[in-house]
Amino acid sequence: LLSQSDKMLFSKKIFLLPAITLLLLTRVASQSATSESYKLSKDDWTYEENATTGDISGQLIVSHDTPFSPQRKYIVTLIKLNWFAAYAFCEQNGWSLVSIESAAEQFQVQNYINYFNLESSDFWTSGNKLADLQNFRWGYNGSKFSYTNWAMGRPDNFMGGQHCVKLLENSLKWDDDFCENSHHFICQMDRNSSNNYTPPYE
């Protein structure tokens, strides 16, 4: 949580569409997160004030009351971060990097991405094998994969260093990749969360 003085760094405007709330985030400074620090500076981000309704030129699109998932709300980002920074970004905002633990959840995420015509991008998930470099899990120490949707020939652990899982552009099937690479990413939140998309700077 930010102090009262920190709140002055942020402004917000929420645009309502039928069954959709867009919360637009714009990057105003360079990325400060690294694979060593796992942190993002709060000074790097501000809420966009002057976007038009339906505009996705901002950086954060929120599925607030949409039917994509009865259990979760999804937040897709148009910024690109490495896996560590993406994980930290979601956590700092009271969310988590997306986990896909069933065919139903895969379908929900695909529908969400396709709805906004963003399928031409790769997206980080929380999948990784950083804990032991052998078993893929959700989050740092979460459950091992029970459901998978790997692209053909994946995971291939190219050059022995691909430990994080992304959704491939277009097919949205899974691919292992170098965690240091930068991609768009998807955060998630339980629909019953008390956060309810009130920015966690209050």
Q: Which amino acid is at 160?
A: G
Report the relative pairing of strands 60-62 and 164-167 from DSSP bridges.
Answer: unpaired
H or E stretch including 4? helix 4-7
Domains of the chain with bracketed CATH? 4-190 (3.10.100.10)
- As a whole number of angstroms, the distance between CA 148 and CA 38 comes to 27
pLDDT digits (tens, 9 = 90+) for 141-181: 889 999 999 999 999 999 999 999 999 999 999 999 999 99
Residues in the chain: 202
- Which is it for strands 184-190 and 123-128: parallel, antiparallel or unpaired? parallel
β-sheet bridge partners, residue 165: 176
Tens digits of residue pLDDT in 184-198: 999 998 866 656 443
Q: How is residue 168 annotated by DSSP?
A: P
User: How many angstroms from the chain centroid is the CA of residue 122?
Assistant: 11
Q: What angle do CA 49, 50, 56 make, to 5 degrees?
A: 95
The pair of three-digit structure tokens given for residue 65, joined into one six-digit string: 């009351």
Q: What is the pLDDT of residue 70?
A: 62
pLDDT tens per residue, range 42-82: 333 332 222 222 333 446 666 544 456 667 888 887 789 99
% of residues, the chain, pLDDT over 70: 59
Is the per-residue pLDDT at 117 higher than 60? yes
Report DSSP letters for 78-143, one per residue: SS-B-HHHHHHHHHHTT-EE----SHHHHHHHHHHHHHTT-TTS-EEEEEE-TTTSSS-EESSS-P
